Structure 1
Amino acid sequence: MARRIEHHTTSAFPAEKVFAALVDETYLRDRLAAIGGKDAELVTYTSVDGKTSYQLKQGVPAEHLPSVAKSLLGGDLVIQRVENWAAGAGTAEVTIGGVPGRLDGAFTITDDGSGSKLTLTGEVKVGIPLMGGKLEKMIAEQVAVLLDKESEFTSEWLANRG
C-alpha cells in the first residue's frame, strides 16, 4: 500500500526567483550546511540548457528518530534525494538507506498573489509487511516538516541577496 502526499509552501518571492534559488549550486550547498543534517552533501550537480539535476545526501541521527524507525534502521537515517528541474517544475526521487521503499513526486512553482507557491505531489511506498503503513506515514510527515524548513531557508536566503 502507498501513501499519497501533497504539500504546499508559500514564499513572498515570485516563482521565478524561488525556482532560480532551487537550482542554484551555491544555494543548495548553503541549504545543506544549514539544515541538511548529519553528513549532508551535494553528491552530484549538473545544469545544462535550462535543465538542472542534482543528488543530495542528508542524514538524521538515530536519537532524533521515532522508535519504529530506530528499530528498523539500527542507526542513523540516510536520505538520498535526486531532483530534476526545468522551467519551474521538477521531479524528486527519495530513497532511505536500509528501507525497501521510496518517495516519488513532482514539484511545481507558481506565482500566487504577491508571492509564489511550491507544491509537492507524490507517493510514499514502503514494502515492509505490517510496518510499511506506519513508516509511510512517518516519512510523509517528515517530508512535510523538511519542506517547511527548506521554504523558510529559501525565503531567508533570497532576502539576504536583495
Structure 2
Amino acid sequence: MPREFDYRSTWPYPADEVYATMTDPEYLRARLAKIGGPGAALLEHHPDGDGGVRYRLRHGLDAQDMPAALRTVLPGNITIERAESWKKQGPGRYDATVAVTIHNTPASAAGGMQLHDANPGSELLLRLDISVKVPLIGGRIEEVVVGRIGELFDLETQFTREWLEQRH
C-alpha cells in the first residue's frame, strides 16, 4: 500500500517569481550541483508556449548515506529520476505533476504540486504517493524513502530561499 508524503513551504515572494526561479534551467543546474548527489544532472527542459514547462532531473544517493538495513536490499549508489510537468492555471497559480523513478529498485513515487499566491507571498504544496513493492519489508523501506524525500525537499527549499534572497 503506497505511503502518502505531504510537504509545504512558504515564500515571501509572489508565486510568479518563485515559479520563474524553480523552473529556470540555470537555477536547476545550480541546485543539482549543490545538493543533487553523485551524477546529478538536468536531463531535459522543455518550456511550452502557455507558460508551462516540463523537465527531468537526475539525483544520486551515495550508498554510504543510506541506513545499513537498506544497503543490504539496495546495494550500491541509487539513481533517482524526477520528472515534473508544470502548467500555469491562472494569475499566481501553477500546478505540476511529479513522477519519481528510483532505478534498480522496487520503489517509485508519483503525485502533484501546487504553487499559488498566499497573503503574504506564496505557498508550495506537494503530495506524493510512495510505493515500495517488497514483501514484508516494503513498509520499512517506504519510511526511509519518505524521510529522504523530506530531507531533499528541505534542502531544495533552503537553496531556493537563498537563491531568491541573493537576487533581491
Query: What TM-score comes out, normalization by structure 2 length?
Result: 0.92
Q: Which runs of 5 or more residues in structure 2 are unaligned?
A: 89-93
In structure 2, the partner of 1:113 is: 119
Shift of 1:138: 1.1
- RMSD over aligned CA atoms reads 1.1
In structure 2, the partner of 1:5 is: 5
Shift of 1:73: 1.6
Shift of 1:63: 0.7
User: In structure 2, what is the Cα distance between the partners aligned to 1:33 and 1:130?
Assistant: 36
For 1:95, give the aligned amino acid: T
Identity %: 35
1:41 maps onto 2:47 in alignment:
no
Aligned residue pair count = 162
Task: Select the residue among 145, 159, 167 that pairs with 1:161.
Answer: 167
1:138 maps onto 2:144 in alignment:
yes
For 1:101, give the aligned amino acid: A
Shift of 1:78: 1.1
Q: Which runs of 5 or more residues in structure 1 are unaligned?
A: none
Shift of 1:28: 0.5
1:95 maps onto 2:101 in alignment:
yes
Bigger RCO (CA 8 Å, 6+ sep): 1
- 8 Å CA contact 1:3–1:136 kept in 2: the answer is yes
Query: What TM-score comes out, normalization by structure 1 length?
Result: 0.95
1:57 maps onto 2:63 in alignment:
no
For 2:74, give the aligned amino acid: L
SS at match of 2:17: helix
Shift of 1:97: 1.4
User: In structure 1, what is the Cα distance between the partners aligned to 2:52 and 2:166?
Assistant: 25
User: In structure 1, what is the Cα distance between the partners aligned to 2:135 and 2:78?
Assistant: 20
For 2:155, give the aligned amino acid: K
